[in-house]
Amino acid sequence: MTRVWAPKGSRPRAVRQTQYQYVYVIGAACPATGQAEAIVAPYLDTAMLNRFLEQFSQALPPEVQAVLVWDRAGNHRAHQLQVPDNIALMELPRDTK
């Protein structure tokens, strides 16, 4: 139980929600064409990233080479990451501060 905002002089209580559910959205978009590809996942790990990369690769026209700007998250740098031939990953630089 917790206290909640209420009119002055009253002291209502409510059940406090301490459990959360998460969803992850993995996506890529082309700024020139507006084409986008994404998946919504209940968790984020190397297997899910591999699934996204495969889906994204198949959505690209045969003559297109895509570059994804990737942050330095651990599962983005996993050795088990399977990057299709028509996709290149470019990591953001480390913060040098």
At 15-33, the pLDDT tens digits run 777 777 889 999 999 888 8
Q: What angle do CA 29, 33, 35 make, to 5 degrees?
A: 40
12 or 29, higher pLDDT: 29
Tell me: pLDDT of 97 over 70.
no
* Domain assignments of the chain as residue spans, ordered by start: 2-91
pLDDT at 17: 73
61 or 73, higher pLDDT: 61
In order of 20, 43, 70, the CA distances from 86 in angstroms are: 37, 26, 16
Q: Which residue, 31, 55, 45, is CA-closest to 81?
A: 45
